[in-house]
Homo-oligomer: A and B are copies of this chain.
């Protein structure tokens, strides 16, 4: 297991309720891929969303987001944290 940061663009105007619903969908789908989504942050003005997860691979992170209907634009391994 490792840490991943994924990025979604184009979600201008996202609401707190929409972010919560998207995160709940990820939590419902993550078990099948051995992923856990820990936190997410959104900037509604630019439409950027970041999700922090623990996962076995980038592909596993993306599979969960795809299953939830919101594939990420970027998935990054973040082996360095402070």
CA distance A21 to B7 in the complex (A): 25
Interface residues of A in 14-60 (CB under 8 A from B): 14-16, 19-20, 23, 39-46, 48, 50, 52
A5 at the interface (CB under 8 A from B): yes
Q: Which B residues are in CB contact (< 8 Å) with A39?
A: 81-82
With A5-B43, A5-B50 known to touch, is A20 a contact of B82 (CB < 8 Å)?
yes
Contact (Cβ within 8 A) B50 A16: no
Cβ–Cβ < 8 Å partners of A81 in chain B: 19, 39-42
A76 at the interface (CB under 8 A from B): yes
When the two chains form their complex, are residues B5 and A78 in contact, meaning their CB atoms are under 8 A apart? no
- The chain B residue with its CB closest to the CB of A44 is B80
Chain B hits for A43, CB < 8 A:
5, 76-80
